[in-house]
Structure 1
């Protein structure tokens, strides 16, 4: 069997069989967003997953029903378990894992960190402690690489000490830890989604990151627009399911007022504030909208009932994206909420991804909660680079079945800017889109 012997910059010369398969375990696996990127990569095998399937702490056991979506796409059934209390060796045994693994993905709930939840400014959500608890799973599974994705506040918010605890514990065990916030549209996602990405590598392996993989590479601007992403998706009406795709489904409106409101909001990026200048528009203002107008204080409130814009990236798709009143989730031109399929595409899922279960609202949550597979596929390629010393090609950064194509990527002489200045530049680039 041939071997891979490319030298890394730090002088490490890995000797890895070309056909080696690396083992992955995914904790807090949800609908499979993180796992699918590794599952789609030819050099990784997902051998275990676990999720409690809770929409929120007070939800009944199994209420989120994400494990059926996971199984339909990844091919294994996640263990339904509370990762805040389960004994790690017992969990490992239930997955049939008998030796150290290559990759541990751990993406605890981000709800307790997110700045969009007003309670988080005052209260430390008990779920936040799951970040620090990740160390007990690292001890149990002994991964070569640990990857984590979460809200940006994981690294810079009031409760960032949870991550600092984990970082310190990982470093005490010989891991090198890299953590940084990114706007994921920089990596091809057709959505302005700012997330914290963490990669920790065990002793003996050189650290690589997504910034390294994209160094000297840039995207053409139109590659991350709603227009490009949703090209070819057929038109449907609210309340309909397309006969050829059960995920291309949009719920009915709860009231005639909601439909009337959306009908009067201008196409291609319009918001409810535009109701102030259209005939009969003021008749469709809600009490909250009227109060906002009276105070002349809109904040982020204009996004509710807003339409997406064809030639911009989509706004952040959050877990409660199943109603037009929860954000800018309306179709650019059709009078309806974007469908499960459309929001799935905008969050980096392939067009053939299966969203299972009987609850349409849960299917939307499976999307909003997920690590975008387009990005997790790139993380898989970065992990492969760490393990083998072989830098990903442009093709290795393009998840098959998504909107992104190799010709969207340009080789440049510039490297990816890091730190606050780099993030500010990303905001400027996509605000101008």
Structure 2
């Protein structure tokens, strides 16, 4: 298997676990689960931009549909014959993000977790996993989600983890939930040396701001204004705009309200994990997204690698235009593949620790 190719289902571990990935995006969660030996049958997302990358890189079907409109009959046939079943997903995190303080129950996306809950009750899977931003755990919609799962006889565990602990070259705090009908379940924690920016992207060919690498058009960096060129040249890895001459400092950062945002217009450090990849990581002024050495923001491909996607993961068809805002959004929203793999391995190990396999009966879907 090539680094960026599909993972064959022939490699799935026994006992066989079949999965559905809700809010699948471009397939970060699916790819990690497949690496762990879980047979992902279907990814569901409302964003048509996800369809090509999801199908091009993963051995699963794709359904273009809102989870709010999803019915259990859309899913049951995909899981036929499985010994164990998993309902997985990452509901859109923007309503619960600390970056979106004005969001709340009036945001339609706020209630998508309720549809996840509804489908869990109707599908009656053996396992559930969900990944989201830490702030979700403080919301009543999450409390209700956990309570309903427990009422369905799931053993539920959840907590906030740093993705860097699982080999993701990025400091990314995420809430991970695992639920099982078999018994108490936990996320496996092993001692993994943290991967650095240098280890992840240090070997990529150098490019200039506004330039794309011929052999990989996704390895392209946004253009910089003359002022931002001067700013990045004045920046050092791990430093802040506070190190600049005053003439380079943005007016908003000179005000008291702007002085608490030192991380923007910053360079990454070679020998540390990257900061959290947001949907705007391709912009130098949007966070600490400056390349450690080259005078540019990190490229789209570099952001994908820092999300632990394989280096040859396909995001657009060959020859199609590449829209930075679209690709940046898809990559920034993705579940890091290495975190997803750890989740998958935890579920596989959990099954192995319990009694032997058993086949589900058709009427189990309606009990």
Q: Name the TM-score class by shorter chain.
A: 0.7 to 0.9
Unaligned 5+ runs, structure 2: 1-11, 355-367
Instruction: Give, in angstroms, the shift of residue 187 of structure 1.
Output: 2.2
Partners of 1:180 and 1:128 in 2: CA distance: 20
Q: How many residues align?
A: 338
Corresponding residue for 2:323? 359
**Secondary structure of 1:218 counterpart:** coil
- Alignment of 1:343 with 2:303, yes or no, is yes
Name the structure 2 match of 1:271: 240
User: Is 2:214 the counterpart of 1:243?
Assistant: yes
Task: Report the CA distance between 1:308 and its aligned residue.
Answer: 0.5
**Structure 1 position 29, deviation (Å):** 0.3
**Counterpart in the other structure of 2:259:** 298
- Are the aligned partners of 1:269 and 1:310 in contact in 2 as well (CA < 8 Å)? no
User: For the residues of structure 1 that align with 2:162 and 2:35, how far apart are their CA atoms?
Assistant: 23
Cα gap change, 1:144/1:248 in structure 2, threshold over 3 Å: closer, same or farther? same
Q: What SS class does the counterpart of residue 302 from structure 1 fall into?
A: coil
Stretch of structure 1 that moved more, 104-113 or 135-144: 135-144
Q: CA deviation at 1:306?
A: 0.8
5 Å-filtered alignment, 1:130-149, equals: 130-149=112-131
> Which TM-score applies when normalising by structure 2?
0.85
Alignment of 1:255-404 (within 5 A): 255-266=225-236, 268-276=237-245, 282-291=246-255, 295=256, 298-299=259-260, 301-356=261-316, 358-389=322-353
The whole-number CA distance in structure 2 between the counterparts of 1:183 and 1:379 is 13
Query: What is the CA-CA distance between 1:381 and the residue it aligns to?
Result: 0.6
Contact 2:170–2:306 under 8 Å retained in 1: yes
Change in 2 beyond 3 A, CA 1:296/1:131? closer
Q: CA deviation at 1:218?
A: 2.2
- Partner SS state of residue 199, structure 1: strand
After TM superposition, give the deviation of residue 47 of structure 1 in Å: 0.8
- How far apart, CA to CA, are the structure 1 residues paired with 2:155 and 2:105? 31
Describe the superposition over 1:244-300 as per-residue Cα deviations: whole angstroms up to 9, x where unpaired: 3232121222x222222222222x222222113xxxxx3322221232xxx38621x
CA distance in 2, matches of 1:124, 1:26: 26
CA distance in 2, matches of 1:148, 1:350: 22
The 1:18/1:284 distance shift into structure 2, 3 A limit, reads closer
- Is the alpha carbon distance of 1:335 and 1:73 closer, same or farther for their aligned partners in structure 2, counting shifts above 3 Å? same
Cα separation, partners in 2 of 1:243 and 1:370, compared to 1, 3 Å: same
1:226 corresponds in structure 2 to: 197
CA separation of 1:161 and 1:239: change in aligned 2, threshold 3 A: same
Work out the CA distance in 2 between the residues paired with 1:19 and 1:177.
Answer: 24
Residue 96 of structure 2 is matched in structure 1 by 113
Contact between 2:269 and 2:292, CA under 8 Å: does it hold in 1?
yes
* In structure 1, C-alpha distance between the alignment counterparts of 2:345 and 2:14, rounded to whole Å: 15
Relative to 1, partners in 2 of residues 1:167 and 1:230: Cα closer, same or farther, differing over 3 Å?
same
**Are 1:37 and 1:380, in contact at CA under 8 Å, matched by a contact in 2?**
yes
SS at match of 1:79: strand
2:163 to 184, 189, 192: 184
Q: Larger RCO: Structure 1 or Structure 2 (Cα < 8 Å, ≥ 6 residues apart)?
A: 2
Distance in 2 (alpha carbons) for counterparts of 1:225 and 1:302: 21
Q: CA deviation at 1:124?
A: 5.3
- Displacement of 1:370 in angstroms is 0.7
**For 1:81-92, what aligned pairs fall within 5 Å after superposition?**
81-84=65-68, 86-92=69-75
**Structure 1 runs of 4+ off > 6 angstroms?**
none
Retained in 2: the 8 A contact 1:208–1:385? no
After superposition, the CA RMSD in angstroms is 2.2
Is the 1:349–1:372 contact (alpha carbons within 8 Å) kept by the matching residues of 2? Answer: yes
Distance 1:256 1:169 in 2: 55
- Residue 99 of structure 1 and its aligned partner are, at CA, apart by 6.3
Cα offset for 1:133? 2.2
Partner of 2:44: 50
Q: Which residue is 2:50 aligned to? A: 66
Q: How far is 1:209 from its partner?
A: 1.9
**Shift of residue 114, structure 1, vs aligned partner:** 0.7
Residues 193, 316 of structure 1: 8 Å contact kept? yes
Does the CA-based 8 Å contact 2:156-2:185 persist in structure 1?
Answer: no
Give deviations 1:179-237, integer Å, cap 9, x for gaps.
Answer: 111122122222111110000101xx133322xx22xx4234xx332122223122111
